[in-house]
Structure 1
Amino acid sequence: MPSYASARELMDAVMARYRALPDYSDRGFVTARRRGRDHVIVFETAYEASGDFRFTFDRPHPYRPLRHMVTRFVVGRRGGEAYLDRRASDGDVSTQVEPDFNLAIAGATGTSYGAAHTIAGLLFPEVTGWSFRELKRPRLRSPQLIDGVWCHRITGLQHRARMVIHVGVEDLLIRRIADRRPGSEERRLDVRVSAPLSEAPRPS
């Protein structure tokens, strides 16, 4: 297991790791606190060596008595064409073809509480927006066990929000991102890849 002299060195290694992956998948959830209430969405991510990408998430109605009404969103790229699908609980389906992949991801980022952007921004250089490398005042903390996986722990600031990011010690893949101020949390479970860690380039 390599050691890292600083949080920046680890963050560079994480970025290189994602950019080297031929395949990736996960499932997870986001808990976002808004106006004193927790809102939860569940999601799945899939990426293939062809460059195809799919992020699927289910968002319940924000009004508590209507939480049983769930809208499914699917954002991604297939065969070079970017798209954003919306499938409402009443059966209404709409598909929006986007002129570029970055716009498709941006269109789903807010609705997914940022989760649509997390892995897409790491895998694809053309996806803009807040970057993992832009974390201010990063610090490398002691490892923690997250969902049975030992993880490096990085703390820092995203704008004024204090962030805590957990990255797998063995595979350098993100398992948890938490924003302490509003109390939001993103968890990545059942993370699967095809590229062994030894294939990921290390920063010089």
Structure 2
Amino acid sequence: MSSAPLVVLLIAIPMLGCHRDTGDRLPTASQILDRMATTYSECQTYTDSGTLTTTYLSDEGETREVKPFATAMIRPHQFRFEFSVEGDSQSRYIVWRDQGQVRTWWDVGRQSKQPGSLGLGLAGATGVSGGSAHTIPALLMPREVGGRALTDVTKAKRGDDQQHGDHACFTIEALFSGDPITIWIDQKNYLVRRIDSRSEFEDFTTQDSTTYDPVINETIDPSLLNFRAPWQDSLQESFGMKWFW
């Protein structure tokens, strides 16, 4: 008669142990960020298209600015980033590299420059792009692109898992340069799908939401890595000329 409780006890102990082990295997915020960083730094090709939407909140009301962007990279030497401001036909900014040559184009001033490094070229675009010129390139090429990266967040913790379109995502809630930030990271491939952040100023508040559609380690159409400054486009259209940078 006394053996029945003992059997129940012996069965219950392994079940409790399995439940505890499953919980322990859930990745921490730090582990997710480390896996994300490794994915970007080790991928051989990368492309994305995305949008940074900034909402300005003040006593005078609410305004919004939308900045589409696109990135393409083939290691070790080919790279191109471009952004513009929606509704502004004179806002296009390009940062490009092929082999040892780096060039930039900005519609403001309508001139192409040759900075000394890709890092310098992207630094010139970082502020006016709302940071999108820096965020992903700093993960792809951490030795070339300086400044704070997403891996430099503090007080990182797991948020609730979220769905971004068809993609199940971890969310990491943290502080970035003292401001709250939420990073949505694809649970399947550890690529960034969305970043939400908020900054408080004396007279206004900004809310940024950046979305990404990233692809790694797939064949890239070579045309995505052409410089394609606006003056080149117009000349090629007018005279049928081909450009190779």
TM-score by length of 2: 0.70
**How far off is 1:68 after superposition?**
4.5
Instruction: State the distance in 1 between where 2:105 and 2:26 align.
Output: 41
- 1:22 paired to 2:44: yes
Determine whether 1:117 maps to 2:143: no
Give 2:181's aligned amino acid: M
In structure 1, the partner of 2:96 is 76
Report SS of the residue matched to 1:31: strand
Structure 1 residues 69-119: Cα deviation after superposition (integer angstroms, max 9, x where no partner): 33211113222222211235xxx7311100111111110001110001011
1:100-139 matched pairs, under 5 angstroms:
100-125=117-142, 126-139=144-157
Q: What do residues 158-193 of structure 1 show as CA deviations (whole Å, max 9, x unaligned)?
A: 12210000010001000101103421111102x211
Which residue, out of 138, 152, 158, partners 2:170? 152
Contact 2:56 2:207 in 1 (8 A): no
Residue 209 (structure 2) pairs with residue 185 (structure 1): yes
% of aligned pairs identical? Answer: 26
- Cα offset for 1:25? 0.4
1:52–1:80 Cα contact (<8 Å) kept: no
Structure (1 or 2) with the greater strand fraction = 1
Which of 58, 64, 67 is residue 38 of structure 1 equivalent to? 64
| Matched letter for residue 155 of structure 1 | E
1:39-58 → structure 2 map (5 Å cutoff)? 39-58=65-84
> Which segment is superposed worse, 148-157 or 70-79?
70-79
Larger Rg: 2
Q: Deviations over 1:37-93 (max 9, x none)?
A: 111111111011232111111125xxxxxx4433211113222222211235xxx73
Whichever structure has more helix as a proportion of its residues is: 2
Q: Which amino acid aligns with 1:187?
A: T
Moved over 4 A (4+): none
TM-fit CA distance, 1:150 = 0.7
Note closer, same or farther for the CA distance 1:100–1:68 as it changes in structure 2 (3 Å cut). closer
TM-score (normalizing by structure 1): 0.83
**Amino acid corresponding to residue 53 of structure 2 in structure 1:** T
Preserved CA contact (<8 Å) 1:156 1:164: yes
After superposition, the CA RMSD in angstroms is: 1.7
**8 A Cα contact 1:144 1:150, kept in partner:** yes
Determine helix, strand or coil for the equivalent of 2:114: strand
